Amino acid sequence: MAKRDYYEVLGVARDASAAEIKKAYRRMAMKYHPDRNPDDADADAKFKEASESAEVLTDDNKRQQYDQFGHAAFDGASGGGFQGGNFSSIFEDVFGDIFSGGGGAGGRGNRAQRGSDLKYVMTMELDEAVRGAEQKIKVTTLVECMECLGSGARKGSSRSDCIQCGGSGQVSGRQGFFSFQQTCPRCRGAGKVITDPCDACSGQGRVRDTKTLSVKIPPGVDDGDQIRLGGQGEAGVNSGPAGDLYVEIKVREHPIFTREREHLYCEVPISFADAALGGELQVPTLDGRVNLKIPEETQTGKMFRIRGKGVNMGEIRGGGLGDLYCRVVVETPVKLNKRQRELLQEFDSVTDDHHSPRRTSWFDGVRKFIDSITE
């Protein structure tokens, strides 16, 4: 017998959201659950069909495959149809603690829990990132209460068993045809309660505080890199381990240099005369000035490489020492006086195509193009 379309089974549109699919499944599960329909094979089949449909349609990857290939997406080599369907998992996901029994005896609240990780954005200059630096930062976070050492109970007292659940962290009950266990609302699954809370932390075991940390930035870090400081995040719950602090590097834009991994780039303006006749000028690096020789007949956009004046990446990503690339830009003279104009006009009058090979080849290409479209 051919399987029905999963969307049709649940009675939802093909563009239905995950929440709408879960709502439709919840409605059908309540109607056809075996506990409510004992000895009803038809109800049992409909319950399994709805569970199989929901299992696929609430999983983004499975749903994408189903939308593209239909039921064939889950047909095994033996033609066994739906593979890997876990009816209980989707049922527990939709119905939560009511039917799944919560976290078992003692509840999750009684276990030590790791503290949350934190992120701190550190802004620094390019030269600091290249050379490395050490900076102090202030981080406001939850730290272990020093008064009760994280227990939440006043010094000299301790937690006692919850009278509502007897220390199990779970309470039982019934809802219609269903019997269920759920997290104890009084102790929230911890199994124990604090009858005499610590004054410093109000029984939480943690207090908010600002701590100062010294962060050592290794040479060569780049924009977006992260440095992990283990155990410097939020304090854990019930004496659990602290989370980590991730320091994210944000490098300010530099007025002269741009960076690509281990290499630095800059633009160097040169005069018309230097470009034509050649010369020597000083260019900046992060370590000071160096001399750059400009050969005669240099064209704008020419890239010059100065070895070893980039970024040392050895400690960060196993790379070597980068280079500095200088792109020269020929600057057109401005605010010319009368004599300067006369000299340029005289120069232009004695200049022919032999002196401007790029211009000549460009105009030749334009002529050929125009001729090709007018023939």
Tokens representing 17 are 């959201």
Beta bridge partner(s), residue 263? 260
Question: Based on C-alpha coordinates, what's the Rg of the chain?
Answer: 36
Helix (H) or strand (E) holding 95: helix 87-95
Residue 327: alpha-carbon gap to chain centroid: 34
Helix 41-57 to helix 87-95 angle (10° resolution) is: 80
Q: Which residues contact 97 (CB under 8 A, 6 or more apart)?
A: 180, 181, 182, 183
CA 360 – CA 323 distance, rounded (Å): 35
Distance, in Å, from the CA atom of 64 to the CA atom of 82, rounded to the nearest integer, reads 15
Strand, helix or coil for residue 165: coil
Q: How far apart are CA 43 and CA 24, in angstroms?
A: 16
Binding-site residues sit at 145, 148, 162, 165, 184, 187, 198, 201
Bridge partners for 193 per DSSP: 160
Q: Could you give the count of Cα atoms lying within 13 Å of 185 in the half-sphere of its Cβ?
A: 3
**242, 234 contact by CB (below 8 A):** yes
Q: Which residues are annotated as a binding site for Zn(2+)?
A: 145, 148, 162, 165, 184, 187, 198, 201
The backbone torsions φ and ψ at residue 212, rounded to the nearest 5 degrees and listed phi first, read -100, 125
Pairing of the two strands 170-175 and 245-251: unpaired
DSSP string for 142-207: EEE-TTTTTS-BPTT---EE-TTTTTSSEEEEEETTEEEEEE-TTTTT-SEE-SSB-TTTTTSSEE
Shortest CA distance to 223 belongs to which of 188, 192, 252? 252
Which residue(s) pair with 215 in the sheet?
Answer: 135
- C-alpha to C-alpha distance for 171 and 186, rounded to whole angstroms: 10
Residues facing residue 118 across a β-bridge: 245
Find, among 35, 165, 177, the residue nearest to 103 by Cα: 165
Report the SS3 class of residue 233. coil
